[in-house]
């Protein structure tokens, strides 16, 4: 008997979608192994594998090495069975890509674009880049199975509509998915906030095989946090989970935050706050990137200030560590490019102030993907939806009905 595989609610053990999950995870690669793991009769497994083969998501790929009996045919998930279009829209900059169904980036482009130009202009721009990227790799819109988009503001994930986003004028309640419905019929369009998709990108690419619980902290102009709990993005009751930037740090009541409160961690340790303080001290720092350049040049004021910012952030993170007990904290965003002093400050306070049990195996690491985290995460968000057992079971049923009708 093989390993026990936990199934999401409503998924039938041994359904075609479940079998695909086992093949994708590498838990099984032949019909006999699928039968052994699920406890299904071999004839049932054979029937369900045939149904998966008919979708194109699985192919037969040679034979396994013989260990006595007849070698079994090897089954393999086919990442090339479809394409995912992804866009990571920031305040002034965006990255657009095409990936396969395993999340591998096939083509990408990064360009400046102003989110404040409004949804019509920005989404037309995104659509034009989708078309260019597809033609650059000689693929067609028919192959697109889903679209994933990240935006720099809160999103109602179920409807794909931004909710009162502070830096996205004109986007409030705009139905982003509907903008692409005609061009890619049948392909779901999923939208989330940019920090959530970055968290998912880091998790999927580097940690999902070893870790279930992760915090991703974006230290850019502001500060945000994406939460991966039990392998999934945790959005909270209203989609506002992870708003760490506006936690109050006592003792800094003179720091006024853009949210209207005082002493928010973002107003003390965010990239814009650091740039403003360094500028007041006579440096030519307009934004977070300029702060990082100053750190890279070895400026002592900048290095000390970033390390202090790390300590301040560490106080807030220590509470989050005690509360949530993550296995990994990933630090990303522009300021994280000054990662040595920033991570040193964070680690110093987190390990000192969190409970020993919560930090026993805790790792605090620098982003592995940098600016590429968003499109990887947008792809993972779509792929997990498309290949979820329930979605695949529905696809198999629909395909069988279509065949019967023709």
Q: Return residues touching Zn ion (CB under 5 A).
A: 246, 257, 259, 261, 264
281, 271 contact by CB (below 8 A): no
Rounded Cα distance, 280 and 257, in Å: 17
Considering beta carbons, is residue 241 or 259 the nearer one to Zn ion?
259
Q: Which is nearer to Zn ion, 245 or 332 (CB)?
A: 245
Closest CA to 224 of 207, 247, 255: 247
Strands 144-151 and 189-193: parallel
Distance of closest approach, residue 166 Cβ to Zn ion, in angstroms: 10
Instruction: State the nearest-atom distance from the C-beta of 167 to Zn ion, in Å.
Output: 14
Parallel/antiparallel/unpaired status of strands 232-233 and 328-332:
unpaired
For the bound state, the minimum distance from the C-beta of residue 310 to Zn ion, rounded and expressed in Å, comes to 19
Closer residue to Zn ion (CB): 51 or 257: 257
Greatest Cα-to-Cα distance within the chain, rounded to the nearest angstrom: 78
**Closer residue to Zn ion in complex, CB, 261/398:** 261
d(CA 197, CA 367): 13
Give first-to-last CA distance, the chain, whole Å.
40
Shortest spacing between CB 319 and Zn ion, in angstroms: 16
Q: What is the DSSP letter of 170?
A: T
CA-to-CA distance for 332 and 337, rounded, in angstroms? 8
Q: CA-to-CA distance for 48 and 43, rounded, in angstroms?
A: 9
Nearer to Zn ion, 247 or 364 (CB): 247
Cβ-proximal residues to 62 (8 Å cutoff; 6+ apart), any chain: 73, 74
The nearest distance, CB 246 to Zn ion, in angstroms, is: 4
Phi-psi region of 216 (alpha: psi -120 to 50; beta: other; left: phi over 0): beta
Minimal distance, residue 280 CB to Zn ion, in Å? 20
Residue closer to Zn ion (CB basis): 258 or 385: 258
Smallest gap from residue 182 Cβ to Zn ion (A): 39
For Zn ion, the closer CB: 20 or 244: 244
DSSP 8-state secondary structure symbol assigned to residue 284: -
């Amino acid at each position: 008997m093989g390993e026990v595989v936990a199934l999401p609610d409503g998924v039938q053990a041994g359904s075609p979608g479940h079998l695909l999950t086992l093949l994708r995870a590498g838990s099984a690669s032949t019909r006999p192994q699928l039968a052994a793991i699920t406890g299904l009769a071999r004839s049932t497994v054979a029937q369900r594998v045939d149904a998966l083969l008919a979708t194109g998501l699985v192919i037969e790929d040679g034979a396994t090495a013989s260990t006595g009996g007849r070698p079994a045919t090897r089954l393999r998930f086919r990442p090339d069975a479809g394409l995912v279009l992804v866009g990571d829209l920031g305040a002034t900059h965006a990255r657009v890509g095409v990936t396969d169904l395993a999340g591998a980036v096939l083509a990408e482009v990064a360009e400046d674009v102003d989110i404040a130009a409004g949804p019509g202009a920005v989404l037309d721009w995104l659509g034009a880049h989708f078309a260019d990227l597809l033609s650059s790799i000689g693929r067609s819109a028919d192959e697109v199975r889903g679209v994933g988009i990240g935006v720099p503001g809160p999103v109602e994930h179920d409807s794909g509509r931004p909710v009162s986003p502070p830096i996205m004028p004109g986007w409030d309640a705009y139905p982003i998915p509907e903008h692409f419905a005609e061009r890619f019929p049948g392909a779901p369009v999923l939208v989330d906030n940019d920090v959530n998709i970055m968290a998912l990108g880091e998790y999927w690419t580097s940690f999902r095989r070893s870790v279930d619980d992760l915090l991703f902290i974006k230290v850019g102009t502001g500060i945000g946090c994406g939460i991966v709990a039990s392998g999934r993005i945790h959005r909270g009751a209203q989609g506002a989970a992870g708003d760490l930037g506006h936690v109050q740090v006592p003792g800094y009541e003179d720091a006024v935050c853009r949210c209207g409160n005082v002493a928010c961690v973002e107003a003390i340790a965010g990239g814009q706050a650091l740039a403003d303080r360094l500028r007041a001290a006579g440096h030519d720092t307009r934004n977070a990137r300029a702060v990082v350049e100053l750190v890279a040049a070895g400026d002592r004021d900048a290095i000390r200030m970033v390390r202090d910012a790390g300590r301040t952030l560490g106080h807030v993170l220590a509470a989050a560590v005690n509360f949530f007990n993550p296995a990994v904290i990933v630090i990303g965003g522009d300021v994280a490019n000054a990662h040595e002093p920033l991570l040193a400050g964070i680690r110093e306070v987190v390990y000192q102030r969190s409970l020993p049990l919560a930090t026993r195996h805790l790792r605090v690491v620098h982003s592995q993907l940098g600016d590429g985290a968003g499109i990887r995460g947008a792809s993972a968000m779509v792929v997990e939806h498309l290949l979820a057992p329930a979605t695949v079971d529905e696809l198999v049923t629909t395909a069988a009905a279509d065949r019967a009708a023709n």
